[in-house]
Amino acid sequence: MLFELLDDYYPAPQAAMFVLDQGGRVLGCGRGSFELTGLKDERAIGRDAKDLLGLVTDDGADVIGTVREWGVRQLNKPATIEAEGDLPARVTVDCFPAYDDDGGVLLVLTPSE
Q: Write down the domain spans for the chain.
A: 16-97
Q: What DSSP string describes the chain?
A: ------TT----TT-EEEEE-TTSBEEEE-TTHHHHH---HHHHTTSBHHHHHT-EETT---HHHHHHHH---EEEEEEEE--TTPPPEEEEEEEEE-SSTT--EEEEEEE--
- pTM for the structure as a whole: 0.89
Q: From residue 65, how far is each of 38, 47, 94 by CA, in Å?
A: 24, 15, 13
The pLDDT tens digits for 2-29 are 455 555 666 778 899 999 999 999 999 9
Section 81-110 average pLDDT: 88
Position with higher pLDDT, 51 vs 98:
51
- Place domain 16-97 in its CATH homologous superfamily: PAS domain (3.30.450.20)
The pLDDT tens digits for 33-92 are 999 998 999 999 999 999 999 999 999 999 999 999 998 889 999 999 998 767 899 999
